[in-house]
């Protein structure tokens, strides 16, 4: 059986090779009981998402523990806040998907336009807040409230203005699947403009 650190490392390579995130960042995490597994700082900029299982950080689901970990990504705060709030969430992916970024730039929600994205509903944009702040983490949690059933079934997502997407899911497979479906859905909205 593939271990969670190995699976997270594999997911990072997939995200990057499929242009679902970039060199500037993103994070992948999963929980197992009270233990959090998460990609380290610099996964994009220095590792180019070619992580090995040993690179994946692990520790208790306790913000005070992670504050003292130098390799804990500043974007990890939102992951911790999601796990604290939503017991349904077993995996979280934050990414900068190629076709989703224009929607983040314009603060536009992404409506589902394909059959395979109906289950996520409209991907809303959360109010802006400084990058890496607790305020932003709180806005993300608030944006996911009311979507618990979607998380339990598969996944729910929100957009961060000028930045990217965050997906909370029932497991890592559901999380990466949601990131790709939403990115292709975003591409279809953009490409559809040419057909008007």
Footprint on this chain of Zn ion (rule: CB under 5 A)? 25, 164
Closer Cβ to Zn ion, 22 or 88, answer by number: 22
Closer Cβ to Zn ion, 7 or 159, answer by number: 159
Nearest distance, CB of residue 75 and Zn ion, angstroms: 5
Closer Cβ to Zn ion, 49 or 112, answer by number: 49
Vertex 118 angle, CA 113 and 119, to 5°: 155
Closer Cβ to Zn ion, 74 or 145, answer by number: 74
Nearest distance, CB of residue 34 and Zn ion, angstroms: 26
Q: Name the one residue in this structure whose structure tokens are 């994946």.
A: 56
Nearest distance, CB of residue 25 and Zn ion, angstroms: 4
Nearest distance, CB of residue 163 and Zn ion, angstroms: 6
CA distances to 15, 123, 164 from 20, in Å: 5, 16, 10
Q: Name the one residue in this structure whose structure tokens are 């997407």.
A: 165
Nearest distance, CB of residue 192 and Zn ion, angstroms: 27
Position closest to Zn ion via CB: 25
Distance CA 37, CA 21 (A): 19
Contact 67, 80 (CB under 8 A): no
As given in the structure block, the two tokens for residue 95 are 């990414």
CA distances to 67, 72, 92, 192 from 80, in Å: 11, 11, 9, 37
Closer Cβ to Zn ion, 159 or 169, answer by number: 159
Nearest distance, CB of residue 180 and Zn ion, angstroms: 17
Closer Cβ to Zn ion, 25 or 40, answer by number: 25
Residues contacting 112, CB < 8 A, separation 6+: 118, 120, 121, 122, 185
């Amino acid at each position: 059986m593939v271990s969670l650190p190995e699976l997270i490392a594999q997911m990072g390579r997939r995200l990057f090779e499929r242009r679902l995130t970039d060199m500037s960042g993103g994070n992948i995490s999963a929980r197992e009981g009270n233990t959090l597994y998460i990609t380290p700082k610099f996964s994009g900029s220095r590792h180019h998402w070619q992580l090995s299982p040993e690179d994946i950080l692990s520790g208790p689901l306790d913000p005070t523990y992670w504050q003292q970990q130098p390799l804990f990504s500043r974007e990890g705060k939102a992951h911790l806040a999601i796990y604290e709030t939503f017991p349904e969430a077993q995996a979280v992916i934050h990414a900068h998907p190629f076709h989703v970024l224009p929607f983040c730039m314009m603060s536009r929600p992404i409506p589902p336009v394909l059959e395979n994205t109906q289950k996520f509903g409209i991907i809303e944009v959360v109010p802006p807040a400084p990058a890496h702040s607790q305020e932003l983490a709180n806005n993300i949690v608030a944006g996911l409230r009311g979507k618990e059933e979607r998380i339990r079934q598969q996944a729910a997502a929100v957009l961060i203005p000028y930045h990217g997407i965050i997906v909370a899911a029932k497991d890592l497979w559901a999380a990466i699947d949601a990131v790709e479906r939403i990115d292709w859905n975003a591409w279809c909205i953009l490409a559809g403009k040419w057909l008007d």
